[in-house]
Structure 1
Amino acid sequence: MSDPDIGDVAATGESLESLPDGWAKATIGDLLIWIEAGKSFKCAPRPAMPDEWGVIKVSAMTWGEFRPEENKAVLDDVMLSPEHEIYPGDVLLSRANTVDYVGAPVLVDSTRARLLLSDKSLRLILGSGVHRKWITYWLQAPAVRRSIAAKATGTSDSMRNISQSDLKNIVIPIPPVDEQRRIAETLDAQMVCLREIEKRLRTAQDRLAQLKDSLMIAASTGVLNPGMEGRSASIPPSPAVQDGVLPLLAEGWRWARLEEIADVIGGVTKDSKRQDDPGYKEVPYLRVANAQRGYLDLTNVARIRVLPETLKKLRLQKGDILMTEGGDRDKLGRGWIWEEQVRDCIHQNHLFRARVHAAATHPTLLAWFINSAARGWFETNAKQSVNLASISISKVKQLPVPLPPPGAADEAVDCGTQALDRVNVLEIAVRDGLARVANLRRTLLIQAYEGQLVPQDPADEPAEHLLKRVRVEREATVAERKAARRASRAKNTMSSKDLATSRKAPPPSIPPSTAEQITLPLEFTA
């Protein structure tokens, strides 16, 4: 067991040595009776039906509120144990998650029946008197979040783990019980307002995204150009793909297959065995994570060693369009235009590169179309495996794309750029608003953690009294559980002689009034 770790106060750097009157310094474990962990189950890749058992996913505990719909249907009901069922009032915590969300707590307000803890979730059994909403807020405080992140183990940011012992050893300030209630009530009132503001901003963000899609479709099909109206246009069908309903085109525009106007190739597959070969050259290369919808994220560009001829073949040029080959079904085909931001850069095999033929169309028009109207086409023509979807390069070459008449491409790009720039201004304003909401929420939690959110009341019972009661309760519960286990083992243990005797003749019946009955603690009954 590691040494207790004092969580630092986020805003001011004050230590826990200076506490408000009536507060105490203790570990998270000092507030608990014990911690319950879930189990791993064989599950279907879908939510459970009302009459089925389900097990929660980590996403049920990620966003600050409990989401019972985030679950998977349990297939193996042999391992089911009612003691792992989730109930209203439970304080749950994500044992394994991304670096930002490992240890994320939620208070279960309501839930569906037959929903179980997973092996990546923990249930905190609190001592009597510990305020449930207060401890849920406390575990979200920046200082506690940093302590959890520091103790979380794992080699990848995509999955970190926090052990029960490390969690219990984190030291936090404990206010009196009555102040816990006042803190929780004050935070509740403020958080309700912030959630409503955030909800409206998210709605605005979604509507702006829809408007952006509509503008990209209109610009890439010529309909956004002044005086242009859309008309129906067809393309000879391809037996390899399903085109579905295509958007309307402006007068003079037509449909073509991607392979008619661009060279489309896949990328490099990493050869781990040849990365030390002196004949290979180290170069930057783009991965799926770099290709986002409508932009390229170049904050983290990996490097790979390849043959000189591979670099010559795959070196990206200005105007190349990158598209994802695999991943979530709704993210296939996302990507953007390469602007030669990095020298001698290539791309991995999970990205496609389309290099537009000279004068065929403007790369921006093609990129707008791929990231808007073509999204449904990619989903329709994708192949789904258990967890990932993908699309073949032969199908991508059959993507129907709009072609402008001579001289119309630049006007379409100008019209689209002007309209999208106005939307971008609004999107920035919404993002700023969401950032302010997040900062206000953080500030409230910091003030509560430092004892500055509500006034202290000298009449409050000091927190030390609560900690003593919880300690007595925990010791009694541990003793009861040990006694119950001993009784269970004694009941199930039988000597070979007794076993042989029991096989020869049944034992005499014992009148109910004289029979000895072992009363187990509540948590051992089902």
Structure 2
Amino acid sequence: MSVDSGEGGVGAAPIEGEVKLPDGWAWATVGEVLVRSDSGKSFKCEPRPASPNEWGIIKVSAMTWGEFRAIENKALLDSSLVNPDYEIRAGDVLVSRANTVDYVGAPVLVEDVRPGLLLSDKSLRFTPGTAINRHWFVHWLRSPVVRKAISAKASGTSDSMRNISQADLRAIKIPLPPTVEQHRIADALGARLAHLDEIDRFIARARTHSAALRKQILLDAIPEPDAWPEEWQARTVDQAGTVALGRARHPDWHTGPKMRPYLRVANVFEDRIDTTSLMEMDFSEGFGKYRLLPGDVLLNEGQSPHLVGRPAMYKGIPEGVAFTNSLLRFRADADVLPGWALLVFRRHLHAGRFMREVRITTNIAHLSSSRLKAVEFPVPPLDEQRRLISETKGRLARADRLKQLLDSAETHTTGLRRALLTEAFAGRLVPQDPQDEPAEDLLKRIRIEREAAEAERREARRAATKARRREKQAAKPPGAASPPAPVSRTPLPEGEQTILSLEFTE
């Protein structure tokens, strides 16, 4: 099950002070229902998964998608650094402390795990009291109100990665029901969410088939070069139009008298240009060279390998826009329709044609203008271009309607999931029983349990310290003198005397 970010509305869970809790419930914090919480440790790893017999470090991706994925791990570089205190065990509730914006704070319950997997410093382990149903607890941590609270508290300088502190997670409020009701809620949620999860899996499979259908439509529109009809002209991109690289960005152009908007790779998607986040630079010189005209096709010059060359057509909105050197511009000749050029480039993208031309630097694939110019480009008669453009648009429109249906179904299941969690944590999903032990009483038992566990840990630390001292003493060579006792520098009160031992030698 995916982690739902939730933004209130139908997904808003009860907030302390705004909603009266059912009888027997009580407000608490995450920290108050825990017996213990631990942060992981930074271990040196190898860039490969651990084999079943090796020590491994669990990655945050192991807890990102609502289930514990033990295969998401890295091999420990040095097994002598293993500390068994960080070993993950069945029943642990793990939370990703550092993750992407959508998944920071994502929780998972470890149902089963092989020995030898360790908690990394990017993860936390929560140990709830015995009175807390762990399935219920994880459902609460996934609820929209908690996701919203984590989003508000998470910090980070990256646009994609965020961090959440253990203190902020422990401070999150919980509407706590009696233990027996927690079990009833967990069972009811588990059954209902399992149905929604199955629908989500069906939607995911349908999306895969939809994407394959769209790819096949584009491949069918334009065959491989050896199957081009005789009336089609076999050209290269350079022979079908002009290719230009956009203007490089420079600090000197961040301000100036002639600021104009420009498109960059973040604006150009397949068959779509997003103009919601345009940037500007000064074009006191050279604007005409980089100005876009309606019908220009833009292709990503630098991208991940499977997206390099991703094309979209500029249709004149907004006006007076330039483009940077993260993009390539293709301007078609008179006998090539811009729509046909876009169709050719989309076909090349899905056929993997551009991937054969890329060069990779610092993990980014680049499609140079010289390599793009040499790529094959078929040119049918204009009437044939119009017919193929129209037919392909019709087929893609039907595929788009399928995608819209899948989007609508996913929105519906997301709303149902939020509504279920809302009802559960407002006390409206299952009936209450006045005979259940009140939550206030179980909080007292958890507090006693936590204090006993803390005392046990202190005693274990003292015992470990004594054992290390004994080992150190036993390791001394026979006859080795003990270190001299430290000399006290504390002055004696006035009027007191001390006896100093004297040694005389003959």
Q: Return the TM-score normalized by structure 1.
A: 0.81
Asked if the contact 1:10–1:143 (Cα under 8 Å) also holds between the matched residues in 2, the reply is no
State the partner residue of 1:374. 349
Match of 2:274 among 297, 307, 314: 297
- 1:506, CA displacement in angstroms? 8.9
Q: For structure 2, list consecutive stretches of 5 or more residues without a partner in the other structure.
A: 1-6, 482-506
Cα distance between partner residues in 1 of 2:10 and 2:461: 44
Residue deviations 1:27-70 (CA, integer Å, cap 9, x gap)? 00011122222234454555444455443443333332333344
* DSSP 3-state at the match of 1:308: coil
Asked if the contact 2:50–2:56 (Cα under 8 Å) also holds between the matched residues in 1, the reply is yes
Question: Which moved further from structure 2: 256-265 or 433-442?
Answer: 256-265
CA change 1:43–1:325 in 2 (3 A) is farther
Q: For structure 1, list consecutive stretches of 5 or more residues without a partner in the other structure.
A: 1-6, 222-229, 235-247, 508-526
Query: Within 5 Å, which residues of 2 pair with 1:410-425?
Result: 410-425=386-401
Cα distance between partner residues in 2 of 1:125 and 1:387: 40
- 1:491, CA displacement in angstroms? 4.1
State the partner residue of 2:503. none
Asked if the contact 1:8–1:16 (Cα under 8 Å) also holds between the matched residues in 2, the reply is no
Match of 1:140 among 137, 142, 146: 142
State the partner residue of 2:244. 265
Q: Which amino acid aligns with 1:286?
A: L
- 1:314, CA displacement in angstroms? 1.7
Question: Which moved further from structure 2: 42-51 or 87-96?
Answer: 42-51
CA change 1:342–1:69 in 2 (3 A) is farther
CA change 1:334–1:9 in 2 (3 A) is closer
Residue deviations 1:71-96 (CA, integer Å, cap 9, x gap)? 44444555444433334432211212
Identical amino acids, percent of aligned pairs: 42
- 1:383, CA displacement in angstroms? 3.4
Asked if the contact 1:144–1:172 (Cα under 8 Å) also holds between the matched residues in 2, the reply is no
CA change 1:323–1:8 in 2 (3 A) is closer
State the partner residue of 2:99. 97
* DSSP 3-state at the match of 1:154: coil
Query: Within 5 Å, which residues of 2 pair with 1:17-56?
Result: 17=17, 18-43=20-45, 46-56=48-58
Cα distance between partner residues in 2 of 1:111 and 1:249: 56
* DSSP 3-state at the match of 2:394: helix
Residue deviations 1:149-172 (CA, integer Å, cap 9, x gap)? 122122444122110011101111
- 1:443, CA displacement in angstroms? 0.6
CA change 1:463–1:255 in 2 (3 A) is farther
CA change 1:76–1:260 in 2 (3 A) is farther
- 1:251, CA displacement in angstroms? 4.6
Cα distance between partner residues in 2 of 1:338 and 1:410: 19
Query: Within 5 Å, which residues of 2 pair with 1:221-240?
Result: 221=222, 233-234=225-226
* DSSP 3-state at the match of 1:35: strand
Residue deviations 1:208-236 (CA, integer Å, cap 9, x gap)? 111111112222x1xxxxxxxx6x644xx
Matched, 1:404 2:406: no
Matched, 1:283 2:285: no
- 1:268, CA displacement in angstroms? 3.2
Cα distance between partner residues in 2 of 1:394 and 1:77: 51
Cα distance between partner residues in 1 of 2:138 and 2:208: 29
- 1:439, CA displacement in angstroms? 0.6
Question: Which moved further from structure 2: 36-45 or 433-442?
Answer: 36-45
Question: Which moved further from structure 2: 469-478 or 74-83?
Answer: 74-83
State the partner residue of 2:418. 442
Q: Which amino acid aligns with 2:369?
A: I
Question: Which moved further from structure 2: 281-290 or 436-445?
Answer: 281-290
- 1:323, CA displacement in angstroms? 2.0
CA change 1:81–1:347 in 2 (3 A) is farther
Larger Rg: 2
State the partner residue of 1:362. 337
Matched, 1:316 2:292: yes
- 1:387, CA displacement in angstroms? 4.2
CA change 1:120–1:256 in 2 (3 A) is farther
Match of 1:199 among 198, 201, 208: 201
Cα distance between partner residues in 2 of 1:68 and 1:397: 47
Q: Return the TM-score normalized by structure 2.
A: 0.84
- 1:438, CA displacement in angstroms? 0.7
- 1:473, CA displacement in angstroms? 1.7
Q: Which amino acid aligns with 1:176?
A: P
State the partner residue of 2:407. 431
CA change 1:486–1:391 in 2 (3 A) is farther
Residue deviations 1:233-267 (CA, integer Å, cap 9, x gap)? 44xxxxxxxxxxxxx43452344322222322333
State the partner residue of 1:116. 118
Question: Which moved further from structure 2: 282-291 or 131-140?
Answer: 282-291
Q: Which amino acid aligns with 2:458?
A: K
Q: Which amino acid aligns with 2:237?
A: L
- 1:111, CA displacement in angstroms? 4.5
State the partner residue of 1:16. 16
Asked if the contact 1:60–1:69 (Cα under 8 Å) also holds between the matched residues in 2, the reply is yes
CA change 1:485–1:467 in 2 (3 A) is same
Asked if the contact 1:53–1:116 (Cα under 8 Å) also holds between the matched residues in 2, the reply is yes
* DSSP 3-state at the match of 2:313: coil
Q: Which amino acid aligns with 1:166?
A: D
Asked if the contact 1:9–1:15 (Cα under 8 Å) also holds between the matched residues in 2, the reply is no
Asked if the contact 1:325–1:351 (Cα under 8 Å) also holds between the matched residues in 2, the reply is yes
State the partner residue of 1:227. none
Q: Which amino acid aligns with 2:342?
A: A
Asked if the contact 1:311–1:344 (Cα under 8 Å) also holds between the matched residues in 2, the reply is no
- 1:471, CA displacement in angstroms? 1.2
Cα distance between partner residues in 1 of 2:88 and 2:357: 40
CA change 1:101–1:419 in 2 (3 A) is same
Query: Within 5 Å, which residues of 2 pair with 1:51-90?
Result: 51-75=53-77, 77=79, 79-90=81-92
- 1:25, CA displacement in angstroms? 0.5
CA change 1:94–1:255 in 2 (3 A) is farther
Question: Which moved further from structure 2: 101-110 or 436-445?
Answer: 101-110
Matched, 1:502 2:487: no
- 1:385, CA displacement in angstroms? 5.1
Match of 1:126 among 123, 128, 134: 128
Asked if the contact 1:322–1:335 (Cα under 8 Å) also holds between the matched residues in 2, the reply is yes
- 1:386, CA displacement in angstroms? 6.0
Q: RMSD of the TM alignment (CA)?
A: 3.0
Q: Which amino acid aligns with 1:215?
A: I
Cα distance between partner residues in 1 of 2:148 and 2:372: 45
- 1:145, CA displacement in angstroms? 1.5
Asked if the contact 1:290–1:298 (Cα under 8 Å) also holds between the matched residues in 2, the reply is yes
Q: Which amino acid aligns with 1:467?
A: L
- 1:101, CA displacement in angstroms? 2.2
Matched, 1:477 2:453: yes
CA change 1:71–1:389 in 2 (3 A) is farther
